Amino acid sequence: MVEALKEIKSLLSSSNTLPVLFVGSGLSQRYLGSPTWAGLLEYAATLVHRSLSYYEGLAADGPSNLRLPRIASRIAEDFYREWFDDPEYVASRDKYEKLVRNTGDPLKIELAQYLQGLSITNDETIAEEMEKLSAVRTHAVITTNYDSILEDALPDLELYVGQQSVLFSATQAVGEIYKIHGSAGDPTSMVLTDEDYKEYWARNPYLIAKVLTLFVEHPVIFLGYSLTDSHIQKLLGNLVECLTEEQLDTLNRRLIFVNRPKIDRAEGLRDSTITVEEHSFRVQELIIEDYGSLYDVLAELPQHFPVRLLRQLSESVYQLAYSSEPTGRVYVLPFEEAREDEVEVVVGVGTMERLGLKGYSAFTRTEFFLDMLVGATDHNVPNMMNELLPSVFRVAKFAPIWYPLFLAERAGDTVDLSALPRRARALLEGETALTPYPGRRPPEWDQLRFSELLASYPDLATNLGVGCRYELEDVLVLREYLRPELVGKTTIQTPLAKLCSRFDLLAFGHGFDGDRRELHRELGFKCA
């Protein structure tokens, strides 16, 4: 076993980059005693007083790799009414009812609470392994697990939950944990049902684009997955479609699967293959009982800078594309204005417009909403319409639409509304309604102005704010309410995005009954 670990260390050290950890349910089963996916669904079936075999029969038709998601969908349908009617779940309803958007959410909420109730197995060996896990040196972590083992063990890594968070955040691809199947800490983000998986894979090409660099430029260590895992098979299948032959050859040498010994599988390092889409990946398979020994190897890998520092530096430099203002010890300025005695670090990229180097491919929906709130006018309208709108509406129902149309009109550009993204048209035409989600409704709430609603029912302001009354000063109050909810955020919840769309309609669409020019002056817009 010592020789096998030496080979792994040599392989990882020779790459000159830290490995990426791809973590599956096997790790949670070992450390938390959590059930397998089938075991989790067996528990879920008990919530509706059924056996798992009952649902296995109902979900027999269809692709075998989606059998468990189909079972989850069946259980979720049966549990939905029970969750809303049974007094046993009154505490859950009080806490989570406002989050429920579809039939799968109540089941996710209860499974999330079940998983959060699990604790680290009371075993000395496990405790030692967990301690060693916290010392590993890794470039980033990707996981399909719902639990919080990884973020608890590696608190210096920035956490991103769900595909939308990964795709539309200003991620730095270093020092980060990507929970691509959601998290028990955010139950509705969990990928569980058949519908969830269909949506997940429909968006997966864009996720691949985000993690592609990690796979090509770093060794990837798979923990808690088997070589035949259907998710890994499909993920690698998508990679095959994206990569060149040269990149695939590089990837062959960088995939390491870690598994535990069995009767017919002794400890050691051996060559294995995975055949996906007629391409055979030559992978290294490390068979090891004590993961702590592997963690020791990962803790000793050469590292020039802590990944937390690298991420902070990367994020700081990334932010230089947004501003020409001095911030702390980093001062963004043209070369000809640089004075060495005034700053400790100078990053020079020449003069540029605010969006010049960043471009719309890296512009998030949150940033778009923030520009809307201040009435920013320095957008390149054709690029905004052709690049940004399709990007944000590809995965979201609520994003600025009246604001970009206003900027286009202001610039004298003609916009073909029929060519807008389908979701943008649905928002414009009222097909996607700006109405509150189900939940508590105070008497005559829709007759309240937003400022009154915020003063009397602050906990309901985000949801009910889309349907209350607005006078000029209420629009100002709404802007001040929204801004701190957006600043510094990489992703936002749908109710908040819907309220931002209400501001969009008020400030730039047909939603304000007063003088729009006066409203813009009061908002301090340059376009007034």
Q: At residue 9, what are phi and psi to the nearest 5 degrees?
A: -65, -40
Q: Is 517 exposed, middle or buried (0-12, 13-18, 19+ CB in 10 A)?
A: exposed
Would strands 255-259 and 279-287 be described as parallel, antiparallel, or unpaired? parallel
The pLDDT of residue 359: 60
Q: Which of 438, 444, 404 is nearest to 527 (CA)?
A: 404
Spatial separation of the C-alpha atoms in residues 525 and 390, rounded to whole Å: 26
Give the per-residue pLDDT at 257: 92
- Three-point CA angle 452, 454, 456, nearest 5°: 65
Give me the residue label for tokens 């007034």: 528
Q: Span 2-34+119-299: which CATH code?
A: 3.40.50
Would you give the DSSP letter of residue 87?
A: G
Domain boundaries, the chain: 2-34+119-299, 37-116, 360-523
What are the respective helix, strand and coil percentages of the chain, to the nearest 5? 55, 10, 35
CB 468 within 8 A of CB 506: no
What three-state secondary structure class fits 152? helix
Give the pLDDT of residue 447: 93
- pTM here is 0.60
Q: What pLDDT was estimated at residue 349?
A: 42
Tell the residue number behind the tokens 């993204």, with chain if given. 421
Q: How far apart are CA 19 and CA 141, in angstroms?
A: 9
Q: How far apart are CA 338 and CA 152, in angstroms?
A: 43
Q: What is the rounded CA–CA span in Å between residue 519 and residue 512?
A: 9
Per-residue pLDDT of the chain (528 residues; tens, 9 = 90+): 788 899 999 888 888 788 999 999 999 999 999 999 999 999 999 999 999 999 999 988 877 778 999 999 999 999 999 999 999 999 999 999 998 999 999 999 999 999 999 999 888 889 899 999 999 999 889 999 999 999 999 988 888 887 666 655 555 556 789 898 999 999 999 999 999 988 887 765 556 656 666 777 789 999 998 877 887 887 777 677 666 777 777 777 788 999 988 888 888 998 888 887 677 778 889 999 999 999 999 999 876 555 555 555 555 444 444 444 444 444 444 444 444 444 444 444 433 445 544 566 667 889 899 999 988 888 888 888 988 898 888 878 899 999 999 999 988 888 899 999 999 999 999 888 899 988 889 988 999 999 888 888 888 999 999 999 999 989 999 998 998 888 878 788 889 999 999 999 999 999 999 888 899 988 888 665
Task: Report the pLDDT value the prediction gives residue 343, as an integer from 0 to 100.
Answer: 43
The single-letter DSSP state of residue 385 is: I
Measuring CA to CA, which residue among 123, 215, 207 is closest to residue 165?
A: 207
- What tokens appear for 151 in the block? 């973020």
